[in-house]
Amino acid sequence: MKILLIVLSVSTLLLATSCSFFDPRDPQYPNPDDDITWYQPYTPSTVLLNLSNTFEGRSIAMFMSCCDPSFQFLADDVDIAEFGASWDFSSWDYDVEQNTVLNIFAAVEGSGFPDDSLASFSMSVTEITDPVAPSDSVDIWRDYEIVAAGSDYCGWDNPARGRVMFHMVEDIYGLWSIKKWYDYRPLGYTGEHYTWGVAKATYR
């Protein structure tokens, strides 16, 4: 009888707590940093805010949390044709992105610039409007200007400029992230500024 009571008690406990074992749970902040503003990415536009904030705050963990594990960066074909002999643009996946951006953060830290002037990432809307109420996946277009202090290819005197298409996906929690980052030369390209793909490849 004593053994039966123990078995019944354990079974009752398991039934009462089974929901907590199997129900999806809200994800936590990615290594939160009090100095960096982070928003749970329930919309694609929030991903872009996080991307900018975490780049300027130079948090590699938070920056990569904007990217899907199957992330790919795809440079402009014209850049690959012109600069492919000098830098490697191939097979640019999540790990390559993480290592490259980490190298950029390390480089700007040693640039001698003030802490609040080490990195900048700004984006503006294009003539291609964002889809309304996207579901599962979406393509978002932006023009950008990116600075990594001390860089010969995207410093303050010569910021990287171009156009990007972010292909984003939504996970089971309703959170968005970047699956593919398509980099393009800006409209009216003159060669005065490098794209982010070229500037970033110099750190790979």
CA dist., res. 120 & res. 145, Å (int): 8
pTM reported for the whole predicted model: 0.84
Q: Each residue of 137-152: pLDDT tens digit? A: 999 999 999 999 999 9
Tell me how far apart the 2 most distant CA atoms of the chain are, in Å. Answer: 86
Q: Which residues contact 116 (CB under 8 A, 6 or more apart)?
A: none
Tokens of 151: 């860089």
Task: Kindly report the CATH number that applies to the domain delimited by 35-201.
Answer: 3.10.450.50
Is-contact 56 121, C-beta < 8 A? Answer: yes
Report the relative pairing of strands 176-184 and 67-74 from DSSP bridges.
parallel
The structural domains of the chain, with segments of one domain joined by +, span: 35-201
**pLDDT of res. 20:** 42
Is pLDDT at 67 greater than 50 in this prediction? yes
CA distances from 88 to 25, 27, 173, 199, 204 (A): 39, 35, 35, 12, 8
- Predicted local confidence at residue 191, as pLDDT: 87
The 160-170 sheet, strands edge to edge:
67-74, 176-184, 160-170, 137-148, 119-125
pLDDT at 132 over 50: yes
pLDDT of 13-29, one tens digit each? 444 444 443 444 445 55
